[in-house]
Chains A and B, each alone.
Chain A
Amino acid sequence: MSPALIIHSAGPGVTVQDLGREGYLAQGLSRGGAADRLAVAEGAALLGQDASLAVLEMAGFGGVFEPDAPMRVALTGAPMRATVDGETLVWNASHTVMPGQHLSISTALKGVYGYLHVGGGIDTPMALGSRSAHLTAGIGAAVAAGDRLPVGKDRQDAGRTGMVLSGADRFRGGVVRVVPSAQTHLFPDAQRARFEATGFTRDARGNRQGVRLAHGAEPFAAEGQLSILSEVIVPGDIQMTGDGTPYVLLPECQTMGGYPRIGTVVPEDLPIVAQAAPGTILGFRFVTLESALQSHRQSHAQAASDMKKRLGPLVRDPRKIQDLLSFQLISGVISGMEPDE
């Protein structure tokens, strides 16, 4: 029998996620998948496995988990308080958990989405080519107490844990890059300039479909806003809702909408929006398609080597552990927040 992860308790937003299902736009189903795709890649690097394997996404709060066989795990994304039988585990690192041990993950210290990865990946049945729960569409269900999640076969040469991954702090908001969308031109220049100059606060209203951004300024509006025909939506689109408040669409968004889009957040910066906890300040800056593409190409080409550079052995020095828990930004790591060249 394949190993399993026993769920003793789980927060309300714990779901199985992978990179989602693409190709169903014409059928009205958005991609879904992990809200922070970078975290999925980080966990895969920590465990030396493929990023297509499914993980547990924990929105704001984890749960209590127990493997029924020795199991490699990795913790990434929003740092959360994690213990095994009372002993603190370093976040952004890989560990081994034994049967009988309780891995307890509580509140996010910052950010929104934490991730629990297991060696071999969560091996629940696929639906439409993915293991991702897409609760908005009625695919899958949240993980709940009493569940036993099947886990895939771990690598033959597994056993290597105690690795840590440095950097990539994307949990404190900041300025994200935006490229023009199909309706950007409907917003007058002055509106776009004001949009770039405004600091937005991530509202309490936010989930895997999108996040609302509050602001004290006067409402933003496109020309002829009310007569715009519903049009295709892609994740990252910033739609201006009827009250003139931006709403950034995330992986579980609807596939079509009638609100005008002022722009689209570039994929590399989308995790910053997804990981912005309520109250976090976010700003937007338009970049050209060429510049965004260049950075996309670069980050794609360097993804593997960057990840390798960030990976190192976990030093079990209590002072270091404190440091890592506070999650300092290591210089030289691309956070997606650097000014654009």
Chain B
Amino acid sequence: MGLSGVLVTFADELSETANRAALAFRDRVEADRWEGIEETAVSLSSAFLRFDPLCVAQKEITVRLSRLLDSEDWYAAALPSGRRRWRIPTVFGGPQAPQFDEVAELAGLSSDKAVAELTARPVRVMTIGFAPGLPYMGILPAHWDIPRQTALTPLVPASAVVLAVRQLIIFSTPTPTGWRHIGQTCFRGFRPETETPFVLRSGDEVSLVSVSAEKLNRLKADPKTNGGATCEPIP
């Protein structure tokens, strides 16, 4: 990509194993500290490397990458260590998340069942991107494969949880979007004024915890917490 980027794609479609491969592969490249590599990142199903073309030839990098690719089955690789599990209080439905009922219906579930499913199991932060600290989380079961709206919602508020194509996103800032607004948190994934500006990392897991609107309001008023989010290391 351009003069200084190489993309290693593990699948052309959304896939848990391709994301796993991308996370594990990027982690290995980072750990090996290749000369000339300036940064690495993951997307949903690819690992990306940026290098200095004045320092190392693209060809040299692609040869090394091919060798590393062949060295193990990345689709079955263990996820990187150092990941964390987050619990983020969320209000589902009601005036603060106006498209929740619509989405539950599109998924073929009652509202109660939909909340139960979305909170039952943690989702993986498959990648951080688009905007600072913005997590793409998934993969939700197939009945959550709800397409983006053709028309954009002009603005969903900061910390909104939106859903489309088996994925969840929590926005940091008010954003126009084609994804549907199903939940509301007061969690911010990007806090440039703090010591830890980027809160989540690719590979982390997130459990959305259903709370009442009153509870969320109390959390919102508490400056000592980031929307009541807690985290613990994944052993």
Task: Give min CB distance, B170 to chain A, whole Å.
Answer: 12
Q: Are A255 and B1 neighbours in the complex by a CB distance under 8 Å?
A: no
Q: Which of A84-92, A226-234, A332-340 participates in binding chain B?
A: A226-234
Q: Are B192 and A139 neighbours in the complex by a CB distance under 8 Å?
A: yes
Q: Are B45 and A26 neighbours in the complex by a CB distance under 8 Å?
A: no
Q: Point out which of B14, B132, B133 has the most chain A C-beta atoms below 10 A from its C-beta.
A: B132
> Which of chain A's residues has its CB closest to B15's CB?
A229
> Which of chain A's residues has its CB closest to B173's CB?
A138
Q: Are A293 and B3 neighbours in the complex by a CB distance under 8 Å?
A: yes
With a CB–CB cut-off of 8 A, which chain B residues contact A24?
39, 132, 198
Can you list 15 A-B pairs with a CB-CB distance of less than 8 A? Answer: A26-B202, A27-B128, A27-B198, A28-B129, A29-B198, A137-B192, A138-B132, A229-B13, A230-B43, A231-B44, A232-B129, A256-B129, A257-B130, A293-B3, A297-B53
Q: Are A28 and B131 neighbours in the complex by a CB distance under 8 Å?
A: yes
Given contacts A230-B129, A255-B129, 6 further A-B contacts (CB under 8 A): A25-B41, A26-B42, A179-B3, A231-B46, A232-B129, A289-B3
Q: Which of A137, A230, A234, A297 contacts B2 (CB 8 A)?
A: A234
Q: Which of B41, B54, B58, B202 contacts A297 (CB 8 A)?
A: B54
With a CB–CB cut-off of 8 A, which chain A residues contact B90?
none
A23 within 8 A of B: yes
Residues 105-127 of chain B, each 1 if its beta carbon lies under 8 Å from chain A, else 0:
00000000000000000000001
A283 within 8 A of B: no
Please, how many residues of chain B have a CB less than 8 angstroms from a CB on the other chain? 40
> Which of chain B's residues has its CB closest to A265's CB?
B2
Q: Are A181 and B1 neighbours in the complex by a CB distance under 8 Å?
A: yes
With a CB–CB cut-off of 8 A, which chain B residues contact A236?
2
Please, how many residues of chain A have a CB less than 8 angstroms from a CB on the other chain? 39
With a CB–CB cut-off of 8 A, which chain B residues contact A256?
43, 127, 129-130
Q: Which residues of chain B (23-65) have a CB below 8 Å from chain A?
A: 38-46, 48, 50, 53-54, 58
Task: Give min CB distance, B72 to chain A, whole Å.
Answer: 22
> Which of chain A's residues has its CB closest to B58's CB?
A289
Q: Which residues of chain B (105-164) have a CB below 8 Å from chain A?
A: 127-134, 136
With a CB–CB cut-off of 8 A, which chain A residues contact B70?
none
Q: Are A29 and B132 neighbours in the complex by a CB distance under 8 Å?
A: yes
CA distance A225 to B107 in the complex (A): 25
Q: Are A237 and B134 neighbours in the complex by a CB distance under 8 Å?
A: no
Q: Are B48 and A25 neighbours in the complex by a CB distance under 8 Å?
A: yes
With a CB–CB cut-off of 8 A, which chain A residues contact B48?
25, 232
CA distance A29 to B58 in the complex (A): 24
Task: Give min CB distance, A97 to chain B, whole Å.
Answer: 33
Q: Are B38 and A22 neighbours in the complex by a CB distance under 8 Å?
A: yes
B197 within 8 A of A: yes
Task: Give min CB distance, B104 to chain A, whole Å.
Answer: 25
Q: Are A128 and B192 neighbours in the complex by a CB distance under 8 Å?
A: yes
CA distance A254 to B128 in the complex (A): 11
Residues 263-279 of chain A, each 1 if its beta carbon lies under 8 Å from chain B, else 0:
01011000000000000
> Which of chain A's residues has its CB closest to B128's CB?
A28
With a CB–CB cut-off of 8 A, which chain B residues contact A293?
3, 53, 58
With a CB–CB cut-off of 8 A, which chain B residues contact A127?
192
A292 within 8 A of B: yes
Q: Are A229 and B45 neighbours in the complex by a CB distance under 8 Å?
A: yes
Q: Which of B4-12, B80-88, B207-215, B218-226 participates in binding chain A?
A: B4-12
